[in-house]
Structure 1
């Protein structure tokens, strides 16, 4: 005898199928979100800055979905004036230039007798500054074959040069140490050798405000865009952030900011109104000087261990931070909270200066993580390793890059989180690295006492995530 389903049973079965389908779609959406963690405004902004113009995209479709249009096709479209402007737009240029990652080399720029702690290109890329533990700060002329333009012997150095900063007009350099006094040097003088108060003056800028004559260290110092102020992070009694007025020649603002060492500070944008700070208390904080009332404008929670460095995207909204939890995190201050969320994770003894990060700790996640994305692969051990956004001019800031304890430089895609390059050369910690603001050139500085320069390979190949390569190979 045949069996006939009732209408109720049919409806019930269809409902069950819809629930299964909906569940599958939900899982698929979650999977897509995991693969593309930045399917939001950051992704759109990055694409807007580095995607070819609409007309060029239409006439030169890529053969494979989501792959960049070939350079030859774009050049042909430019010659035919498909953009209607007779030239590449800024986004067109970024689309081409961002394919030429600085992974070829390296070439050794310099070798010293002490560890390289900090290094950065000047804003226009003509100069490169490197600070070493053994008192030397060298300024190289990039356009003149990397010749040493200024060799500065640091004054009253304690342990190491903790940070350097070059003013936007490239006239003055400041350097900090494990001391409340920052020194400033005029780097435009004719003399190549600069010995403090012997042949040149290294003025001391005292950040202490006569604060009980307390001795403290400055770990991070930055110029404002207009060159009139400095912001510094310290480990004084209140773990304060200081703002120093160079015209008044005094610190005019002191912010009791954190509960542990303030390892890193930065102005959010060119206005200088908003300041970011990162600390060993695991928090990034945002300070707005326009409505300052001794409280942070907001707090960003998500790192499980102390923060070693942060870098602003320059738009007053987004920043990245390196953490001792072996991650780099991307933040949007519009998602910040008014208070920090205190969560105790430590069920183990660990000191990043001596120990490897516990494997069980890598699986932990902050329950109130406010970051937009997390990037993993590099190691943040032994020292305050630094990370940055790639340049806006040549890449549209579509990558982030960081030094690492394993002696490499890691480059990640901001949107997908994929590791697109790993630069291997140094045999000790890469504490700092810097991408040229206009050219596909990156310089790494290491505790092996070497400064190395990387450049683009010149073959135009699309960057491939490192984990998808068929075999591991060393980049030369």
Structure 2
């Protein structure tokens, strides 16, 4: 069952005492992130002040949904309807904490759980050489079983193309495979029932057997795939020409995560075991041959990066048991590598994080905020911004080695909910882009679904409507 530190209808209230967040602004205002992103988040997820105002009086938070409906009917805002921000204010308060409902159960560990960009498909990747694609609109019916090829240890990452026609999957191998998701074949057995084309990312021949891909992402136009590798490099693969178009010797250790910063594809974020986050601008890389900037703050390796999608902000999970929020305008060209307090023999794969290192802060920390409470151990656990459409990206959420999912308020840092159910660590989790639903994948082999209000049947609006005719219509937005 879920353990919510605050009621989902009042998660805008004062910070919970169990939550932990540190920011550069806390000396003056310990409860709020004093930065531009805080104001942007409030603009995206806050109601029009006239819809929530008692006359006479002042705006109170959180604003009652009933009060907002009365304000809309009275046309207090002068618009006669709810804005997108008004809708986010309502929907973001109803956290998907009810459940869970079991979507699927396997005998092998579940590593990947990802919705497609429109929420109609869901991809789950298992250690046992299987990727399963579910049709959310058809009651989570299995649309495709992909039996993978050339796996080493496990599937490390998957990604659907923007048009949802192709899927790429990676492993501890230099070959990333691509499969046609849109074909009529339900059981896609590599090179038997379907061809799984191989994209060769191999570095030098000497390290071929040790080479692995930890992260793969499609560009927005679907023409490129960017990959993070164990040879300390980032690769960009050009699909029309079927070859690697760029290799960047990016970090001093394994590159665990990489993603495009925005829709343009010019900026790339990367994170590695050298505990650094880096920003790469491909428009000037050829002339400079180096990163556009470096962001320091983690004292252990980076396991995952998620971009806010605006080319400015991103979050990262670190093996120092924290999630950090970054603004690339604070990046530096100077790098400090030798910042560690713990035993150099410590290995996050099978050892607990040293107690004496938990409160250590990087002397050159350039992050905007640090969120603590979850556990990043054993594997490359992932963190994300909540959806823009329904929450205004008001929250960040992350899997955890303690078998839970943690949800934090981006601005206040409050831990607003914890989802407890699994019997193994939660490596990945995904929030539906339009509906209040989170799906988790864990090492107990379970794919589990959390919702608000919580129903076993697929949402009716997903079955009947296009993705743009969403919950907002039900509220008259």
Q: Please say whether Structure 1 and Structure 2 have the same fold, judged by a TM-score greater than 0.5.
A: yes
Tell me by how many angstroms 1:39 deviates. 1.3
CA distance in 1, matches of 2:195, 2:218: 20
Tell me by how many angstroms 1:84 deviates. 2.6
Aligned with residue 338 of structure 2, among 334, 339, 343: 343
Kindly indicate whether the alpha-carbon contact (under 8 Å) linking 1:279 and 1:307 is maintained by their aligned counterparts in 2. yes
Going from structure 1 to structure 2, the CA distance change for 1:50 and 1:312 (only over 3 Å counts) comes to same
4+ residue runs of structure 1 moved beyond 4 angstroms? 29-32, 59-63, 209-213
Alignment partner of 1:232 is 2:233: no
CA distance in 1, matches of 2:57, 2:199: 56
CA distance in 2, matches of 1:110, 1:395: 27
Structure 1 residues without counterparts, runs of 5 or longer = 1-28, 459-476
CA distance in 1, matches of 2:446, 2:55: 44
Kindly indicate whether the alpha-carbon contact (under 8 Å) linking 1:59 and 1:77 is maintained by their aligned counterparts in 2. no
| Bigger-Rg structure (1/2) | 1
Q: What's the TM-score, normalizing by structure 2?
A: 0.87
Aligned with residue 56 of structure 1, among 51, 59, 62: 51
Alignment partner of 1:35 is 2:14: no
Q: What's the TM-score, normalizing by structure 1?
A: 0.87
Q: After superposition, give the CA deviation of every residue in 1:88-127 in whole Å (9 maximum; x if it has no partner).
A: 1100000000000000000000001100011100000000
Kindly indicate whether the alpha-carbon contact (under 8 Å) linking 2:52 and 2:71 is maintained by their aligned counterparts in 1. no
Match of 1:354 in 2: 350
Kindly indicate whether the alpha-carbon contact (under 8 Å) linking 2:129 and 2:148 is maintained by their aligned counterparts in 1. yes
Match of 2:436 in 1: 440
Aligned with residue 383 of structure 1, among 372, 376, 379: 379
Kindly indicate whether the alpha-carbon contact (under 8 Å) linking 1:60 and 1:73 is maintained by their aligned counterparts in 2. no
Tell me by how many angstroms 1:199 deviates. 1.1
Tell me by how many angstroms 1:344 deviates. 3.3
CA distance in 1, matches of 2:60, 2:423: 36
The alignment covers a number of residue pairs equal to: 426
Query: What aligned pairs does 1:214-293 form with structure 2 within 5 A after superposition?
Result: 214-215=208-209, 216-236=211-231, 239-292=232-285, 293=288
Match of 1:148 in 2: 142
Tell me by how many angstroms 1:210 deviates. 6.3
Match of 2:20 in 1: none
Match of 2:458 in 1: none
Aligned with residue 449 of structure 2, among 448, 453, 457: 453
Tell me by how many angstroms 1:191 deviates. 1.4
Q: The residue matched to 2:70 in structure 1 has which SS? A: helix
Q: The residue matched to 1:94 in structure 2 has which SS? A: helix
Going from structure 1 to structure 2, the CA distance change for 1:182 and 1:457 (only over 3 Å counts) comes to same
CA distance in 2, matches of 1:360, 1:347: 8
CA distance in 2, matches of 1:336, 1:450: 39
Tell me by how many angstroms 1:56 deviates. 1.6
Kindly indicate whether the alpha-carbon contact (under 8 Å) linking 1:256 and 1:294 is maintained by their aligned counterparts in 2. no
Alignment partner of 1:430 is 2:426: yes
CA distance in 2, matches of 1:384, 1:61: 52
Alignment partner of 1:97 is 2:91: yes
Going from structure 1 to structure 2, the CA distance change for 1:272 and 1:359 (only over 3 Å counts) comes to same
CA distance in 2, matches of 1:269, 1:204: 26
Tell me by how many angstroms 1:40 deviates. 1.5
What value does the CA root-mean-square deviation take over the aligned residues? 1.6
Match of 1:117 in 2: 111
CA distance in 2, matches of 1:60, 1:230: 55
Kindly indicate whether the alpha-carbon contact (under 8 Å) linking 2:327 and 2:367 is maintained by their aligned counterparts in 1. yes
Tell me by how many angstroms 1:209 deviates. 6.1
CA distance in 2, matches of 1:278, 1:75: 45
Kindly indicate whether the alpha-carbon contact (under 8 Å) linking 2:53 and 2:60 is maintained by their aligned counterparts in 1. no
CA distance in 2, matches of 1:197, 1:295: 39
Kindly indicate whether the alpha-carbon contact (under 8 Å) linking 1:62 and 1:68 is maintained by their aligned counterparts in 2. no
